[in-house]
Amino acid sequence: MITLAALEGVIGASGTAARIGAMLPIGVRCRQLSARTLLAGMCLTQADGRPAHLTRVRQALTSLPEDDQRRPGVITDWKNGPHRLTCRQAEYTAGLVAGALAGDEPSGQPSPALQTVCGSLLEASVPEELKDASRSLAVDWTDMESFSRPPPGKGGPCADPEASWGHRKNNLLRSEDELFFGYYLSACVMMREENGPAIPELARRMTLSSCRHDPVRALVPVLTAMPEDGIPPGGILADSGYATPAPAPGPSRSARPAPPSSRTSTRTTAAPGAPTTAPSSATETCTAPRRRARCWNPGRWPAAPPAKTPPRTTPAPLSWPATSSAASPPTMPTATTASPAPPPRARSGARSAPRR
């Protein structure tokens, strides 16, 4: 179980509480719930496996021992005696923090300020002795449903206007997908170097984007900004969806959750050029689309032999000439066969005598 002291150490090392506090408006009196305490309550809620609800944040803070409640300001002394944090105070401070970190317009992607805060918190959670243990990263993304219901079918607003419909795998057969309303969560975690010692797989960066955006393109700015923070990434382990050098704008075909077992190491290459006539080797990758099977298991039932068409022996229909003329009679072509046609069978009711 993660203690409150450990979470406060991570928040203090990241410097996010002071950065957020400088963005909030200054009131007449001191605010009881500070940004530092709000972040600690959010971390406690996630550490206990509770739903990410604002009421659960207050429950996590008020369920601490009394000494731990007085130190961060959950319980303060007012004129009439001790005062415990209320839901209205938590809602008011959370609204101020969300407004300070939000973008100018809802775009379905985190603002630069919010992305910086999330990156600082994750980087501060990595112990100092493990920061330089490995530069290799493993990247992947998954689906995350929104707390809000989808908008009505006839159109209209909903509680989460930045969420959108997306596709995900849910143990379905073949290429069937399941629709969900929410976001795509992309993360990159530390992994050991090739032929190196094992290390803890700690999260280094994360980002959240609406399903209207391609998660691969949403994670690229996060990875390219890591060298500016003194974290040059090394090898990156990803699946085939990250191998596109310049994907088209909008959700791509690869923007579909892949099962964890399909992760392979890929390397980004240049755009394909003109086709060559050189013979291909056995190690090259086929870029042609795979032909879709017509049945679920074609090897189970043998294919039926093609039906043999008997030779045509009947005369073909009359063919009239292209120009109508009364002097030229119609022609009657006959079909040519390899053997003469058998004689017509006599229609007789008497049975043939048996041979002796």
In the chain, the N- to C-terminal Cα span, in Å, equals 102
User: Inter-axis angle of helices 16-23 and 112-124, to 10 degrees?
Assistant: 160
Q: Given the structure tokens 């920061």, which residue do they identify?
A: 131
Report residue 311's pLDDT band, with 50, 70 and 90 as the boundaries: low
Beta strands in 146-230 (DSSP E): 164-168, 178-190, 203-210
Which residues pair with residue 236 across a beta bridge? 137
Rounded distance between C-alpha atoms, residue 33 and residue 19, angstroms: 16
Average pLDDT estimate for 282-287: 43
- Which pLDDT score, from 0 to 100, does residue 140 have? 92
- Which pLDDT score, from 0 to 100, does residue 258 have? 43
Tokens of 233: 């990434």
Residue-wise pLDDT for 214-236, tens only, equals 999 999 999 989 988 888 878 88
Q: Which helix (H) or strand (E) holds 101?
A: helix 87-101
Report residue 350's pLDDT band, with 50, 70 and 90 as the boundaries: very low
Q: How high does pLDDT run on average in the chain?
A: 76
Q: Given the structure tokens 């992760």, which residue do they identify?
A: 263
* Residue 243 CB neighbour total at 10 angstroms: 15
pTM metric for this prediction:
0.64
Average pLDDT estimate for 1-22: 91
Burial of 338 (0-12, 13-18, 19+ CB in 10 A): exposed
Contact of 303 with 277, CB cutoff 8 Å? no
DSSP code of residue 228: G
Tokens of 123: 């980087």
Cα torsion angle, 277, 282, 287, 293, sign: positive
Report residue 304's pLDDT band, with 50, 70 and 90 as the boundaries: low
| Distance (Å) of CA 306 to CA 196, 293, 296, 303, 309 | 59, 20, 21, 9, 9
The one-letter amino acid code at 108 reads: G
DSSP codes of every residue in 214-260: -HHHHHHHHHHTTGGGT-----EE--GGG--SSPPSS--TT-SPPPG
Average pLDDT estimate for 244-254: 50
- pLDDT at residue 170 greater than cutoff 50: yes
Average pLDDT estimate for 95-107: 89
The one-letter amino acid code at 256 reads: R
Average pLDDT estimate for 252-274: 42
- pLDDT at residue 271 greater than cutoff 80: no
Rounded distance between C-alpha atoms, residue 66 and residue 63, angstroms: 9
